[in-house]
Amino acid sequence: MPKLVVDLRSRSAAFRLGDGVAARLVAATPADWTVHVVTADTDSGGDGARAPSDESLREIADAEVYLGFGMPKPLFLAAQRLRWMHSASAGVASLLFPEMLASGVRLTNSAGVYGPPIAEHVLAGVLFFLRGFDVAGASQRRGAWNPAPFATRETFVREVAECRVLVVGTGGIGTEVARRFTALGATVAGVRRRPELGVPGGFARVLALDAIDAELPRTDVLVLAAPLTDATRAVLTAERLARLADGAIVANVGRGALVDEPALAEALRAGHLRGAVLDVFTHEPLAPDSPLWHLPNVLHTPHISGVSPRRYWDRLLALFLDNWARYRAGEPLRNLVDAQAGY
Catalytic residue annotation: 255, 284, 303
> Do residues 232 and 208 lie in contact, with contact meaning Cβ atoms separated by under 8 Å?
no
Catalogue the E-assigned strands of 27-70: 34-37, 65-68
Catalogue the E-assigned strands of 23-173: 34-37, 65-68, 84-87, 106-108, 164-168
Q: Give 90's contacts (C-beta < 8 A, 6+ positions apart).
A: 47, 109, 110, 111, 112, 113, 114, 172, 173, 227, 306
Find the helix or strand (DSSP H, E) in which 205 lies.
strand 205-207
Question: Cβ-count burial of 246 within 10 angstroms (0-12 exposed, 13-18 middle, 19+ buried)?
Answer: exposed
Catalogue the E-assigned strands of 208-306: 221-224, 248-252, 273-278, 298-300
